[in-house]
Amino acid sequence: MNRVRYNQSGYSGMSRSRRAVAAEAEGMLPLARAIAAVSEAAACPPSLARRCLKRVGAAEWHHVGKYAQTCDYYECGPESVAVRMAQLFCGSDLRRRTIARRQRRELQAAWRAARQAREARELAAGRRDRETRLAPVLAEAAAEVALIRETLREIELTGLVASYRRHATPGRAQALRQMGIDPATIVEVAHA
C-alpha cells in the first residue's frame, strides 16, 4: 500500500481522511477514545464500556494513518446505544465505586497542585530556601562519604603494606609514597 502524501486528495494532513475528521465532528470516535468517552458518560469501568462498544459494533470505518489503514469508528454520544447499554449493565454499586475512584483521583490531583502552589509561594517568600532545607541532609551525606573514603583508604593501605612486606617492588613503593607513607619505615618495622 502506498504512503499518504501531505494534503493528498481526500486526506486532512497525513493522519486522517476528511471523512474521519467529519465523523469525529459528529461524535464518533475510534475504539480507544470511544472507551474513555462511554466510560465517562455512563460512569462505568472502561472494561464494561469496551464490551458494550464491541457488542454494539462499529458504526463506520475510515482511512487513517500514513498508510491509509482502516479504523472502526463507534458512536459514543450521551444518547448512543453503547452508553445506554453500559448504564443498564453497570450496577449501582459498581457505578458508585467508579465515581468514587474518579473523585479520589481528582482530589489527589487537586491536593498535589495545592501543595506545589504552597511550596512555590514559600520559596518566593524566602521562608523555605532549598539549600537550607537540604543542608542537614547534605552535611550528613558528606560525612558518610568521608567515612567511607577513609575506611576504603585504610583497607587499601593495609593490603598494600602487606604486599610490600612480602615482596618490595618499585611500583608498590611508589604507591605507598602516593598515600603518604615512606616505604623505608615499613621495611624497618618488618625486620625489627
Report percent pLDDT > 90 for the chain: 16
Overall average pLDDT of the 118-126 stretch: 76
Q: Render 77-133 in DSSP notation, one character per residue.
A: STTSHHHHHHHHHS-HHHHHHHHHHHHHHHHHHHHHHHHHHHHHHHHHHTSS-HHHH
Q: Could you report the per-residue pLDDT of 144-160, keeping only the tens digit for each? A: 888 888 888 888 888 88
Does the pLDDT value for residue 130 go beyond 70? Answer: no
Query: For residue 167, what is the DSSP state?
Result: S
Every domain of the chain and the residues it spans: 11-90, 132-191
Does the pLDDT value for residue 190 go beyond 60? Answer: no
pLDDT attached to residue 131: 63
Question: Residue 75: is it exposed, middle or buried by C-beta count within 10 angstroms (0-12/13-18/19+)?
Answer: buried
Does the pLDDT value for residue 191 go beyond 60? Answer: no
Does the pLDDT value for residue 27 go beyond 60? Answer: yes
Q: Could you report the per-residue pLDDT of 109-119, keeping only the tens digit for each? A: 888 888 888 88
Q: Could you report the per-residue pLDDT of 31-65, keeping only the tens digit for each? A: 999 999 999 888 888 999 999 999 999 989 888 87
pLDDT attached to residue 29: 93
d(CA 132, CA 142): 15
Query: For residue 11, what is the DSSP state?
Result: E
Average pLDDT, the chain: 83
The dihedrals phi and psi of 16, each to the nearest 5 degrees, come to -145, 155
* Whole-model pTM over 0.85: no
Does the pLDDT value for residue 94 go beyond 70? Answer: yes
The dihedrals phi and psi of 17, each to the nearest 5 degrees, come to -75, 160
pLDDT interval class at 97 (50, 70, 90) = confident
pLDDT attached to residue 187: 64
